[in-house]
């Protein structure tokens, strides 16, 4: 059960309630003015206790802090240059990997011009084979940060291990947790402790419930700055698309959770000419942002060569997306 207290909190009665719960060996957590008690659905409060309670939600999913039952209004994540979630729409773009200093500076200017407000770029790359290009590491992060700052953009980049959190955290505004690490619980808890925004990518075969429970690992450490990224799921047919964009996950997640939902059409598509239609689909279904791979010369990219857009293609995509967004506003979707 979730007990929502009236504000301002009456500390005395609250303490009394917590004591009562403790005496009866109930297991719970207190977040702001919410007390979540995991093992019971109702409780016989006395009148004095009732007087400070605003609302009681009897049933809550296992991923309680991530649920609409816990927080019914949309979470808005504030960064230096963005408000992400709610009625906002955020375009994040950049290369799969930061390959050198010059390329990321040029790209940052180009994606900014097209409408992006967050610069993406990989410095530590998770690659299927240990012999593939693993990214520029800390140098890549520096270039990325400088390019973003020069253009008034936020930075999003992947963090792959607990040990890297501090150094990556110095350069990024948003930690990206990759699909392969969606259930790397130590990493989730560690980014949870930073309180910095986290973009959590759905695992290739993760259910919606597993995604939300993974988010819960971050939230349970006190970090509510979470956005969820649908990036395509694995199916039986990989002939023409790399993965299947589960566009239905967008409205499903909006029902279940208050966190923003972002679409990554690049990894779902796997082929540049499919990125735009998937992006339009995601936006039409209600996504609150896009994460897109852009490269000046995709054919020569050191990773994900097939699926990156040129700046010109990206500009056209953002323009079309804005028109779809305009309808939604009009119709108050």
Sole binder of its own copies in the list 25, 47, 237, 300 (CB under 8 A): 237
Give strand ranges (E) for 6-98.
28-31, 34-37, 53-57, 77-78, 83-84, 90-94
Closest by CA position to 192, among listed 168, 162, 164: 162
Nearer to its own copies, 119 or 212 (CB): 212
- Residues in 108-137 at the binding interface with its own copies, rule: CB under 8 A: 126-131
Nearer to its own copies, 41 or 273 (CB): 273
Sole binder of its own copies in the list 17, 153, 245, 302 (CB under 8 A): 245
Asked whether position 213 contacts its own copies by CB under 8 A, the answer is: yes
The pair of structure tokens assigned to 259 is 């966190």
- Phi, psi torsion values for 25, nearest 5 degrees: 60, 30
Instruction: Mark 138-167 with x for binding to its own copies (rule: CB under 8 A) and - for no binding.
Output: ----------------------xxxxx---
Write down the least CB distance from residue 37 to its own copies, Å: 11
Sole binder of its own copies in the list 8, 11, 44, 255 (CB under 8 A): 255
Asked whether position 59 contacts its own copies by CB under 8 A, the answer is: no
Using CA atoms in the order 49, 50, 55, 61, what is the torsion angle rounded to 10 degrees?
A: 60
Asked whether position 236 contacts its own copies by CB under 8 A, the answer is: yes
The DSSP code sequence of 191-227 is HHHH-S-EEEEPPTT--HHHHHHHHHHHHTTT---EE
Omega of the bond leading into 8 within 30 degrees of 0 (cis): yes
The pair of structure tokens assigned to 223 is 């970090």
The pair of structure tokens assigned to 10 is 């009456």
- Residues in 266-305 at the binding interface with its own copies, rule: CB under 8 A: 268-269, 273-274, 277-278, 280-286
Asked whether position 331 contacts its own copies by CB under 8 A, the answer is: yes
Nearer to its own copies, 153 or 278 (CB): 278
């Amino acid at each position: 059960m979730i007990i929502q207290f009236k504000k301002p909190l009456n500390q005395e009665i609250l303490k009394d309630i917590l004591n009562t719960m403790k005496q009866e060996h109930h297991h719970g957590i207190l977040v702001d003015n919410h007390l979540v008690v995991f093992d019971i659905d109702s409780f016989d409060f006395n009148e004095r206790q009732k007087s400070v309670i605003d609302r009681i939600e009897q049933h809550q999913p296992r991923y309680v802090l991530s649920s609409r039952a816990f927080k019914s209004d949309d979470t808005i994540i504030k960064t230096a240059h963005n408000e992400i979630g709610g009625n906002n729409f955020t375009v994040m773009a950049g290369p799969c990997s930061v390959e050198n200093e010059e390329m990321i500076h040029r790209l940052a200017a180009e994606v900014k011009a097209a409408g992006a407000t967050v610069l993406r770029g990989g410095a530590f790359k998770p690659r299927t084979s240990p012999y593939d290009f693993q990214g520029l590491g800390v140098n890549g992060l520096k270039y990325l940060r400088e390019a973003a700052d020069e253009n008034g953009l936020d930075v999003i980049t992947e963090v792959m291990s607990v040990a890297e959190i501090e150094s990556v955290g110095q350069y990024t505004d948003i930690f990206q947790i990759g699909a392969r690490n969606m259930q790397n619980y130590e990493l989730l808890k560690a980014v949870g402790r930073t309180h910095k925004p986290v973009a959590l990518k759905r695992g290739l075969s993760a259910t919606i419930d597993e995604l939300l429970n993974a988010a819960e690992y971050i939230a349970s450490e006190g970090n509510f700055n979470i956005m969820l990224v649908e990036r395509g799921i694995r199916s039986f047919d990989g002939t023409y698309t790399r993965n299947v964009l589960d566009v239905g996950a967008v409205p499903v997640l909006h029902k279940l959770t208050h966190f923003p939902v972002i679409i990554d059409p690049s990894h779902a598509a796997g082929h540049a000419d499919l990125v735009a239609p998937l992006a339009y689909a995601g936006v039409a279904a209600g996504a609150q942002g896009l994460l897109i791979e852009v490269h000046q010369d995709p054919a020569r990219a050191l990773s994900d060569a097939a699926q990156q857009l040129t700046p010109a293609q990206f500009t056209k995509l953002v323009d079309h997306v804005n028109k779809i967004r305009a309808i939604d506003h009009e119709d108050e979707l």
